[in-house]
Amino acid sequence: MNSSYAVPAVALVVVATVLVGAFGLRISRTTSDFYVASRTVGPRLNAAAISGEYLSAASFLGIAGLVLVQGPDMLWYPVGYTAGYLVLLLFVAAPLRRSGAYTLPDFAEARLASHGVRRLAGAFVVGVGWLYLLPQLQGAGLTLTVLTGAPDSLGGLIVAVVVVATVAAGGMRSITFVQAFQYWLKLTALLVPALFLILAWQSDGAPRHAFEEPAAFREQRVVRVDDTLDLKLDRPLTVTVNGTVDGRRHRAERLQLPTGTHHIGAGTRLTFAKGATVPVADRGTNGGMSTSLAASREERPLYATYGLILATFLGTMGLPHVVVRFYTSPHGVAARRTTVAVLGLIGAFYLLPPVYGALGRLYTPELTITGDADAAVLLLPDRMIGGVGGDLLGALVAGGAFAAFLSTASGLTMAVAGVLTQDVLPSRGVRHFRLGTVLAMVVPLVASVLVGGLPVADAVGLAFAVSASSFCPLLVLGIWWTRLTPPGAAAGMLVGGGSAFVAVAATMAGFPGTGPLHALLAWPALWSVPLGFLTMVLVSLATPGRVPTGTAAILARFHLPEELRAEVKA
């Protein structure tokens, strides 16, 4: 891909981010401005900011890549990300805003009057935040590598530096402007190329076999395999090989590969004939955001689909960077209306990735083999339109992708830094907030360099599953159930979130390779969320003496409309 336009586009996005952030800095004066933008952000600006923050690398690049590799089942991801906001609106939005707390740990402390639960919630916020930051940094690395061939960690480093600079300088107020700006940037960066791509598709005779299974090559295509991989063939495949297959060297030989798994050496060139079925690389051999837990999906697709639905529907409300934005609404009613606007904005955005996924199946099917499926969005303009137009559109997409990394990473950094500043570092001044920002970013940056090839979708899925089984019970029961006790909340978070964390960590480490147990561990939400709820309820019922004394008054504050509450305080 031609990088002469893409690099300036990425640079432009970075510079624009810093400039908009600096604009926020000029009007960001007090500590309250820093953390919650003084709670004066109206629904429209706030909704654009929330959406901009929420649409991460996984949305911008990952969904199209997942759909390209694994077919339409993966469209449950964007549906779940959106429906998660609806569930958040139903059970959490207004009471959470009325609770008047700054962060999730603040909420836990206000509701349960327990410092221990606050600490625990803080630990989970930092953990989930770091887990979610990791894929952003890796995605940035991947994008820059695809565009320029730069080393993997450079993109992550750029994102880290820019985010720390904007967050540390301007805090929440400047982040609000930055993210609202980036939502519209991301939407444009996907929408405009999508329109051109659809036109190109139409002039190509509007082929429709994208929706058929499995994907096939539309024309003769040479695929270069950069890293050694295993190809799984469901049916015999005829291919011209220049390189190593199954340990034997071939020089431009036409081979008939039988059904089964074949080992392709690094540097091999495979030439596929027109109409050949696209083989699928085995799990674990093709890194990147789209790898996911593909193998377990084949074993128990229904269980996996429901696990995914539950995790995304219930996990959204507990994502630290999502929750912290609700405190910036002026009141509970505004928080609700903001959420509706967010639903509209992200729903509109999510109409686009499936288009890229479908076109990717038509025009770049070889990405499923080389493992760069996440790059489909970046490569399609060049592949389908070509010339200067294709380069310009590709540059627009690349800029949008960088906006995605920057905005989500800044929101997460903001949330993690807030917790670190309030609960770990000694004083609560703005200077310590800046130190917290650096800390919040350094850990995932180091981790992204160390773990390198960790499949990104797994990290995102893990963050959602942990959040759904720890914060979702805490928020829902905390807001609607009078008999919740501090020991119950702590036990529920530890058992639910802890078991989800252990399950997915075990899967990532490769324990137990196959079978039903593997599916249970790879998609923990289906059992860990009920487990979290159940533990919280049972332990709370077992410790009735520990119900905080002010519970009734606090619940009244959560639920009473503001016009009545003003009197309560007076």
Partner 1 sequence: MPQEPTERRVVVTGPPRRTRRASGYSRPRTEIDEQTTLGHTYVRSLMRTQLRAALTVFAVLVLLVGPLPLVFAATPDSRRLEWLVLGFCLYAPLVLLALWYVRRAERNERDFVRLVEDR
Provide the binding-site residues for partner 1, judged by CB under 8 A.
Answer: 71-73, 75-76, 79, 82-83, 85-87, 89-91, 94, 211-213, 301-302, 305-306, 309, 333, 336-337, 339-340, 343-344, 347-348, 350-351, 354-355, 358, 480, 552-553, 555-556, 559-561, 563-564, 567-568
Q: Is 165 exposed, middle or buried (0-12, 13-18, 19+ CB in 10 A)?
A: middle
Distance CA 246, CA 354 (A): 35
Six token digits for residue 347: 């729903």
Shortest Cβ distance from residue 46 to partner 1 (Å)?
A: 15
Q: What are phi and psi of 435, to 5 degrees?
A: -65, -40
Beta bridge partners of 435: none
DSSP reduced 3-state for 281: strand
Shortest Cβ distance from residue 483 to partner 1 (Å)?
A: 13
Q: For the chain, what percentages of helix, strand and coil (3-state, to nearest 5) are there?
A: 75, 10, 20
Six token digits for residue 52: 């901009």
Shortest Cβ distance from residue 77 to partner 1 (Å)?
A: 10
- Only one residue has tokens 């599916």, namely 519
Distance CA 429, CA 365 (A): 53
Residue number, 211 or 511, with CB nearest to partner 1 = 211
Residue number, 341 or 367, with CB nearest to partner 1 = 341
Distance CA 353, CA 342 (A): 18
Shortest Cβ distance from residue 143 to partner 1 (Å)?
A: 24
Shortest Cβ distance from residue 68 to partner 1 (Å)?
A: 13
CA end-to-end distance (rounded Å), the chain: 64
Residue number, 270 or 525, with CB nearest to partner 1 = 525
DSSP H helices, 92-211, are 93-98, 104-112, 115-148, 152-203
Shortest Cβ distance from residue 367 to partner 1 (Å)?
A: 19
Shortest Cβ distance from residue 63 to partner 1 (Å)?
A: 10
Residue number, 97 or 118, with CB nearest to partner 1 = 97
Q: Which helix (H) or strand (E) holds 463?
A: helix 456-480
Contact 254, 302 (CB under 8 A): no
Residue number, 85 or 405, with CB nearest to partner 1 = 85
Spell 350-366 as b/e; 16+ CB within 10 A means b.
bebbbbbbbbbbbbbbb
Six token digits for residue 139: 């995605």
Shortest Cβ distance from residue 511 to partner 1 (Å)?
A: 27
C-alpha distances in angstroms, 150 versus 2, 141, 403?
13, 8, 19
Residue number, 65 or 141, with CB nearest to partner 1 = 65
Contact 441, 431 (CB under 8 A): no
Residue number, 89 or 163, with CB nearest to partner 1 = 89
Shortest Cβ distance from residue 174 to partner 1 (Å)?
A: 29
Please report, as a single letter, which amino acid is at residue 437.
Answer: T
Residue number, 94 or 264, with CB nearest to partner 1 = 94
Six token digits for residue 12: 């432009």
Residue number, 365 or 371, with CB nearest to partner 1 = 365
Shortest Cβ distance from residue 38 to partner 1 (Å)?
A: 25
Residue number, 83 or 270, with CB nearest to partner 1 = 83
